Structure 1
Amino acid sequence: MSKRVLITDDAQFMRTMLKQLVEEQGYEVVAEAEDGKKAIELYKEHSPDLVTMDITMPEMDGIEATKEILDFDPNAIIVMCSAMGQKPMVVDALEAGAKDFIVKPIQAEKVKETLDSIFNG
């Protein structure tokens, strides 16, 4: 059974690109969220194996959503996606419990490396 992924980003084009890259690696995208609140709701509904999480979003940012998902499921695997200029936020995200981060603009090879590293040790 393939690993299941929830993609969270407020930009539709980014969700579409990430979905394509994740599916090319053989993983299933079970849902997409446009903000942190929706990500929490969809996490509880789908119990994905991994969540990609944008940091800067309306409603609730990715760091707050990461904390709430981890409160709900301490074993959740969350990978932050953020622009390089947000380095302090990436540190905050890792401290909040994110397992890794992917820098935007997203590169296919980095997505592959990150997924391989998390799922195949």
Structure 2
Amino acid sequence: MQKQLRVLICDDSVLIRKKLRDILEVCQMKEIEEAENGVAAVEKARTFKPDLVFMDIVMPGKDGIEALEEIKSENPKIKVVMASSAGTQSHLKKALDLGAYDFIQKPVTLESVTSIIEKMINEGESAHV
């Protein structure tokens, strides 16, 4: 993958953040930041200005839906991908209505992350034609 994306990982689980970071590094992403909850994600999105955010839906404090809404209202260009475990499908429709770019099912796999990054890069390239 040639294009470098700035990626923010937001999940309250350290293990999931590490797994996602490892997958992103395999995809040769170099600029990766992490946030442990929705409040931190909104703050990091403001300062780090990511191209892509992987956002857990269920988190303490501010959940992924609230954080998505805030991030998109401040910067509509940021692509937010919701990460959902079983049982959060009802939240997915709301997330997509609020402007989520896509969603991936947990446990996160290299294939699902690669496919989202490729889709984003391909859309970006076709926008510049």
Same fold by TM (over 0.5)?
A: yes
Q: Which residue of 1 aligns with 2:42?
A: 40
CA contact (8 A) 2:6 2:32 kept: yes
Task: Tell me the number of residue pairs that the alignment of Structure 1 and Structure 2 aligns.
Answer: 121
Distance 2:75 2:29 in 1: 21
1:72 aligned residue: 74
Distance 2:86 2:43 in 1: 28
Match of 1:118 among 112, 120, 126: 120
Residue aligning to 2:96: 94
**AA partner of residue 83 (structure 1):** S
Give, in angstroms, the shift of residue 119 of structure 1: 1.9
1:71 and 1:86 mapped to 2: Cα distance?
23
Structure 2 gaps of 5+ residues are 124-129
Structure 1 runs of 4+ off > 6 angstroms? none
Letter in 2 for 1:63: I
- SS of the aligned residue for 2:53 comes to strand
Pick the structure with greater CA Rg: 2
What is the root-mean-square deviation in Å for CA atoms of aligned residues? 1.1
Percent identity, aligned pairs only, is: 40
For structure 1, the 5+ residue unaligned runs are none
